[in-house]
């Protein structure tokens, strides 16, 4: 049987992988630790965005993408693999999802950890909006879903702000009367 034949489309990080050879799966497992919060964290090399990188037969793969393929099969062409847990080195397939690049960007922006952040116009939230959202949460007049709709993000994203998972650096201030 022929081995997997990865095709490089965008060096080096989004190489399609149809299946994960046992040797690569072992490399992933060898440098992964299980955190109390359920994340399986890759403790090997990371790239600037925090994603794990694993090399195999001279090519580099993002560890979370390898983990997804291992659990679910190939990532459909053109789709990103993203973290529901907001922890880039996590390789727990249960914490991963696939979606369009735009979904991924919106998800990251809503969580306040986009690699491009406020530097790009496509940011859904920014420091000012996050501050407004915090005032609305404190005001208790609107539900989280209603606040989310006002800002074009999900209620879950607003909840993330409320519980301090996202946009933690933006201070909580009461609305001035």
- Give the residue with the Cβ less far from Zn ion, 27 or 95: 95
Number of residues that bind Zn ion (CB under 5 A): 6
Eight-class DSSP state of 42:
E
- When asked if residue 90 is in the footprint of Zn ion (CB under 5 A), the reply is yes
Binding segment for Zn ion among 11-19, 38-46, 60-68, 124-132 (CB under 5 A)?
38-46
Tell me the closest approach of the beta carbon of residue 173 to Zn ion, in angstroms.
31
Three-point CA angle 162, 167, 42, nearest 5°:
105
Binding segment for Zn ion among 19-27, 35-43, 105-113, 120-128 (CB under 5 A)?
35-43
Q: What are phi and psi of 29, to 5 degrees?
A: -65, -35
By C-alpha distance, which of 127, 42, 133 is closest to 83?
42
Give the one residue of 65, 95, 129, 162 binding Zn ion; rule: CB under 5 A.
95
Tell me the closest approach of the beta carbon of residue 84 to Zn ion, in angstroms.
7
Tell me the closest approach of the beta carbon of residue 107 to Zn ion, in angstroms.
14
CA separation for the pair 103, 99 (Å, rounded) = 6
Name the token pair of 132: 């407004």
Binding segment for Zn ion among 8-16, 94-102, 114-122, 148-156 (CB under 5 A)?
94-102
By C-alpha distance, which of 61, 68, 102 is closest to 83?
68
By C-alpha distance, which of 25, 39, 156, 24 is closest to 88?
39
- When asked if residue 39 is in the footprint of Zn ion (CB under 5 A), the reply is yes
Q: Summarize as ranges the residues that interact with Zn ion (CB under 5 A).
A: 39, 85, 87, 90, 92, 95
């Amino acid at each position: 049987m022929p081995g997997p034949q990865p095709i490089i489309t965008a060096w080096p990080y989004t190489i399609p992988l149809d299946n994960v050879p046992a040797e690569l799966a072992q490399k992933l497992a060898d440098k992964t630790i299980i955190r109390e919060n359920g994340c399986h964290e890759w403790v090997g090399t990371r790239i600037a965005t925090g994603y794990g990188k694993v090399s195999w037969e001279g090519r580099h793969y993002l560890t979370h993408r390898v983990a997804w393929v291992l659990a679910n099969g190939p990532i459909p062409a053109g789709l990103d693999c993203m973290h529901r847990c907001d922890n880039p080195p996590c390789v727990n397939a249960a914490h991963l999802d696939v979606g369009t690049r735009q979904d991924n960007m919106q998800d990251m922006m809503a969580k306040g950890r986009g690699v491009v952040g406020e530097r790009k116009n496509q940011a859904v939230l920014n420091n000012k909006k996050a501050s407004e959202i915090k005032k609305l949460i404190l005001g208790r007049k609107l539900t989280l879903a209603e606040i989310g709709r006002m800002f074009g993000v999900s209620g879950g994203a607003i909840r993330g702000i409320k519980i301090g998972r996202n946009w933690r650096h933006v201070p909580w201030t009461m609305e001035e009367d």
